[in-house]
Amino acid sequence: MLKVDVLGRKLLGRLNYHSLSCKASVGVSSYIPGLRCKQRRSFYGDSANKDKNGGSPVHLKITIRDIESKYHNKTPIVMVTAYDILTSRCAHIAEVDTILIGDSLGMVIYGDPGTNRVTIEDMIRHSRAVTNVKHRFTPFIIGDLPFSAYLTPKDAVYNAARLVSEGNVDAVKLEGGRRVEPMVRAILRAGIPVMGHVGLTPQTAASLGGMKLQGNTAEPAVEIFESAKFLADLGCFSVVLEAIPHKVATHITQNISVPTIGIGAGPGCSGQVQVFHDIAGMFHKFVPKFAKRYALVGRQLEAAVESYRDEVVLNPYSNPVPKYLKLTGISDTSISQSESPSSNASSGHVDIGKERKNLKISVIGAGAMALWLMIRTLVEDGIVEGNLVKASVDKSFQATDANANKDKNGGSPVHLKITIRDIESKYHNKTPIVMVTAYDILTSRCAHIAEVDTILIGDSLGMVIYGDPGTNRVTIEDMIRHSRAVTNVKHRFTPFIIGDLPFSAYLTPKDAVYNAARLVSEGNVDAVKLEGGRRVEPMVRAILRAGIPVMGHVGLTPQTAASLGGMKLQGNTAEPAVEIFESAKFLADLGCFSVVLEAIPHKVATHITQNISVPTIGIGAGPGCSGQVQVFHDIAGMFHKFVPKFAKRYALVGRQLEAAVESYRDEVTSGAFPMKHNSFAISQIQFQKYLKLTGISDTSISQSESPSSNASSGHVDIGKERKNLKISVIGAGAMGSLVAGKLASQGKYDVTLISSWEHHVKTINQSGLMIRTLVEDGIVEGNLVKASVDKSFQATDANEGVLRVTSPFQTLFKPEKGAVADVVFILTKGHSTRSAARTAATIVGPNSLVVTLQNGMGHAGRIREEMGEMATIVEGTISHGALLEGPGTVFHSGKGATIIGCSESSRFVSPGATQLVSEVLNNAGFDTVIADSPAILMNSQWLKLAVNSIINPLTAILGVKNGYLIGNPNIQDLSTRLGQEFLAVLRARNGFQFSVDDVEGVLQIVFDVANKTKMNTSSMLSDLNRCVQTEIDYLNGFLVREGKRLKVPVACNETITGIVKAMENFQRLKMKSESESKGRHQIGDQEELLAANKQTMLVKSIPEFRSVARRFATSGLRVGFVPTMGGLHEGHLQLVRESKRRCDVTVVSVFVNPLQFAPHEDFNSYPRDLTRDFELLQAEEVDFIFTPEASELVPSDPEVTLLVKGSENKPEGASRPHFFHGVATIVLKLFNIVKPTVSFFGQKDAQQCATVKQLVQSLNVDTEVVVCDTVRESDGLAMSTRNNYLNAEERKAAPVIYKALLAAENLFNQGQRDVAALRKVIEHHLSLEPMFELLYVAISDNFSMDEISELAPSLERDGVCISVAGKIGKTRLIDNIVLRSSKQR
């Protein structure tokens, strides 16, 4: 059972109250400014931590006594691992209780297969990094003793002392039970606190059978228990329990004298620890069952490096200064030409063309910028798709040995290793070289995936990894260890890897060659880099003689920055610039294969680049170098101290890491993590045997776990098998449908959904309930929950989820024996609460539970009034995002917290009842917290009311999405007044203490939700749009009633309530008026026809359909028509929905037109599945499906067909000259048969749409043609029946078409109007995907589809269509995008 601990907190101050949303949400931080410090003082603080005026803590250091205090107060202890300055800083900012510097760094930092390669030197170095953080809050810091560091008591105490004295940790941790007794005793005698570790001990995992669950049978579980108890009695201040069954962990926790810290041990431990990289989504190999990701940072890092790579490859170049040129004595023809409007390509770097304006607009460069802009936007929102084009930007990579890298069939490269010859080739071909730093397995993997040319393992790791003030503390041992980590990546593409020689590693030629050789042989690098000009000549010569490639480094040399006046610009006057030039030239002539130019004027860098014989790599040296290098942490926004002027952030990952750790902390503190699905189980037989062997009574666990523990409560019979529970959900709106569907999908419960929405009930009974879920990485997954009319149900572990759906009317009949619901969830709108309660009264028994999770206040009281004493009521709030997309389909758009408990009036409800509800919801994936007290429950309800009473009415009145409210000055005052009245009502309720003290805190929570649901439409606005009653009476109306009762002014809420009610009335009157305006003489015929067509009708013959069409004509109904060739997908269904929205009757034709296929095309293999198509259309409540026979619609030798003049001269027509004649012929025939009022087509087939519009115009066909936007997959691929032909690898490559089109659109939006430039950027992006074969790129008039050579203002106004066709494998794909000026858009 999960509970919310409120000790030392203001009620929900730390409750992880995710998604306090009016409609759909993805998470809300419960942090309220000003509250955290108060909470932390109550946990740890005293007057010594306050300033002289008793204000906020000046500095707070957590001690072992604070840990003990939390344990005795039963407050969860929060621990997280950290390994470097970044992860440590995030943990400090999140104010976790303890940091563990884990030997897991072997896996997550160095890429080792396990932890046993980690040494005490590694631990000390990383411990110094973790303890390098300066922050007002310092956790208790524990260092792991690595495997080889405590083999004997002498080793153990010596290395523990080193970890404390050199690594600055507060305590050490070691693994094992009785076998480590001598080592533990020795360390404790030295006065060093020790944390034990039992269960799965990774250092000795081989002897345990691998990294797997331990203690899942009685005897091993007893051994773990005895080991934990022994360590506690020995004097360990805490014990880690890893990967053991949650019941065993709970029993151990309750029966030893020190706190337990669980990892994969369930929620019953005293605290929790998680690996930082699991929390942040930064470990790519696997996600342990017991872990939970609070961010997906790894993918964002990959995308950031890819964006940097694209920008470097496509950058322009720059030029130098006159006095410096004179001193160098080198002619400046190339540079002066490059500054001149008449420059040519003699410089070898850029052809500027005839006009100066071309300096400002680079087609390819702008394309990359457009692509970066798209990625940047996603990064700002915290969501990044890391699946950009994974192909080499420069095909010269493969020039040296092209065939060797291909498979036997000449396909894509199997493995590509960049060599020094490839770097030289890029230099000679004037292709920019892309370099990025990397320091560990994560940063290296991102660089490999982005396919950068070179990786530099920089001594900048001293600053960005270890938190040192500079680079000079880095040793050769550090460099070797991190080089091994970087080169540990296994990927089909391997960059050229260069290792920095640290400052102390090349003081003499002997040192230089020895340490360079170590870096190559032990660190596996390809080359080394060292800093300086002529002074390093002997060292460079020695290394080169050993056959090791050397990269030079001039300009700002950080290792000797003190002698240069600090970390600042160099060469900004002529003489120093000449010295830099001469140093670079000297190194090039000496034999260095490349030279880094750091922090020098861009014109000087350009001149050096053009006048030395090797490539230059710039960092802060402008765009004129042969390539660029950036520090990984600058690219990703992971370095907090400063951002150099020359750096550019492509992501803001640092902030997301902080937020992820804070969310983890909040969930552990509140009890929302871990849940049962993050834990391991033990069979009841083995657990009982375990209890018997330990000989310790376990009343607390048996009461909570035993099936019969609560049968005597008289409120709910949980003695039965819980998976056979009968559950009813009343209310089939978005949330009711989601809850019912998720419960039914488990296959454990007999679930019935009760709804008065006949259409919804019928659709689910016919086709099932489709739950579409937005998963972590932005992809929507669909899960179909089947429906059944079979009244028998017996759950088994393998049972497939089945949902029964019925109406309230049917429940009025007395259910048969045994059909009484054990649990009834009421999830209706507030105004339906009483009728829902009356329905519930017909299906509950004496032991049943009624659970209300509704928005608004007072629902439990209304249920009790209707049901009397027969109702045992559990109340709560649920904050998942749900949207009902149509009958039978619900969209699960975000997860949040579910909080349940009992109000003051329901104190008699037993703990077993709330535990049962919690278990049911948790099993269905609704992470549920049980509130300890009525006050906590009430607090959660009021928090949600605060959000809903501000967001819902304001968005409904303004008719806007939630995001419109953020930072909008026009509604700031109104929001503030609503918040003030909300708090005024709360304060007038004596005896209730709310977790938020001021209106700023309320508004922060509200706008947090608005920001995280900014693309959502509030439920109140949706209700107004659908002309149904809103919940205003149970939100703002409730505040108005409470205000009047308590004599508190609530004028603003009164006004808001009145406006929304007026809008409700207006919408109803408008709907009634529109209905009457159709004419009374038509209504009878229409109703008769529609009533006769309650179910989808399949019509196969032309005469039969003509008789139907005649009835349409005489009844005055608007007929919508969607012609298709079957193989239906979401794109077709969107056309259907648009037709149903606009028209009274919807007709869909399914006919594979032979006239539009050439003999060599896929007519015979084209996907045909009429049964599936019928089911999909039936679920959409299509009125008629027309499937004419081919022999009837297309005679074998038709005497008359249409010829579309000029179609063969248009792009698609040129590729398929027969196509549009066939389309026009059949579409005209269908128009004549169906006689539609409106016909619907998809923009994806742009030239087809143009042909149909011209057909209608030329032949005066009486139908309106509506072209709907292209419907796309989550990665941008246009939906098409032919997508089914693609295999997995081809499918992965297919989104390149849309990305290329987006690049052109972004270029257009930036002002580019040159047709050739738009075409070129598309062709460039498509060329990056080796699997894509381009057929054509066409830029055309959107109406006629005639290709154009320039964008006239009229064309820009009416729309320009850019079309692409190509093949991936054998599959032909097309897509397009329509460009319009911003005003027209």
Give me the phi and psi of 11, to 5 degrees please.
55, -105
Q: How far is the CA of 841 from the CAs of 849, 855, 859, 861, 870, in angstroms?
A: 11, 21, 15, 15, 8
Q: Helix, strand, or coil here: 583?
A: helix
* Token couple for 1384: 């027209």
Strands in 620-725 per DSSP E: 627-630
- CA distance linking residue 310 with residue 393, whole number of Å: 8
DSSP classification of residue 750:
E
Within 10 angstroms of residue 1074's Cβ, the number of other Cβ atoms is 9
Bridge partner residues of 197 (DSSP): 176, 240
The one-letter amino acid code at 1131 reads G
* Enzyme catalytic residues: 1132
Bridge partner residues of 931 (DSSP): 4
Q: Which of 182, 144, 10, 1 is nearest to 936 (CA)?
A: 10
In this structure, the dihedral spanned by the alpha carbons of residues 290, 116, 468 and 136, taken in order and rounded to 10 degrees, is 40
Q: Which of 878, 844, 933 is nearest to 7 (CA)?
A: 933
Dihedral of alpha carbons 652, 658, 661, 662, sign? negative
Bridge partner residues of 1120 (DSSP): 1146, 1238
What one-character-per-residue DSSP string does 231-263 give? HHHHT-SEEEEES-BHHHHHHHHHHSSS-EEEE
Q: Helix, strand, or coil here: 351?
A: coil
- CA distance linking residue 1068 with residue 1033, whole number of Å: 17
Is-contact 1281 1255, C-beta < 8 A? no
- CA distance linking residue 378 with residue 832, whole number of Å: 40
Is-contact 1194 1223, C-beta < 8 A? no
Rounded to 10°, the helix 509-521/476-486 angle is 30
Q: Judging by beta carbons within 10 Å of its beta carbon (0-12, 13-18, 19+), is residue 185 exposed, middle or buried?
A: middle
> What is the 3 state secondary structure string of 1002-1037?
HHHHHHHHHHHCCCCCCHHHHHHHCCCCCCHHHCHH
Q: Helix, strand, or coil here: 774?
A: strand
Largest CA distance in the chain: 105
Is beta strand 780-787 parallel, antiparallel or unpaired with respect to 769-774?
antiparallel
- CA distance linking residue 1270 with residue 1256, whole number of Å: 22
Place of tokens 């995907």: 1329
Q: Helix, strand, or coil here: 1022?
A: helix
Q: How far is the CA of 1162 from the CAs of 712, 758, 1154, 1167, in angstroms?
A: 69, 42, 10, 9
Q: Which of 399, 429, 409, 405 is nearest to 493 (CA)?
A: 405
Is-contact 583 534, C-beta < 8 A? yes
DSSP classification of residue 80:
E
- CA distance linking residue 895 with residue 931, whole number of Å: 19
* Token couple for 809: 């009317």
Is-contact 95 104, C-beta < 8 A? no
Is-contact 366 1321, C-beta < 8 A? yes
Show Cβ contacts of residue 1115 under 8 Å, excluding neighbours closer than 6 positions. Answer: 1082, 1085, 1086, 1089
